[in-house]
Amino acid sequence: MLNIAEGTSRFSNKDKKNFFVISRGSAFECVAILEYLLETKEISQEFFLEAEKKLEEISKMLFGLIKKMN
């Protein structure tokens, strides 16, 4: 969220795109954290699947923004 906010404040499309790429990477990092939490039984399978679905949608939206910057 913070990378997206910072990216939108940039003037050049190249700078904005860079922050959107970083944001998309952060979404994938969140999935890795959720996988760990699921394996260690800190979260339920139901919670994992719901969060993973939301992160996938966020990733798709960011990918769309990144493509627009080309």
State the pLDDT at residue 27: 96
Query: How many domains, in total, are found in the chain?
Result: 1
Regions of the chain short of the pLDDT cut 50? none
CATH code (residue 58):
1.20.1440.60
Which conformational region is residue 41 in: left (phi greater than 0), alpha (psi within -120 to 50 degrees), or beta? Answer: left
Give the structural domain span for 10. Answer: 2-68
Phi–psi pair at 9, nearest 5 degrees: -85, -10
- Of 69, 12, 70, 65, the closest CA to residue 27 belongs to 65
DSSP code for 40: T
Q: What is the pTM of this model?
A: 0.83
Q: Which pair of tokens denotes residue 62?
A: 């960011």
Instruction: Specify burial of residue 15 (Cβ count, 10 A radius: 0-12, 13-18, 19+).
Output: middle
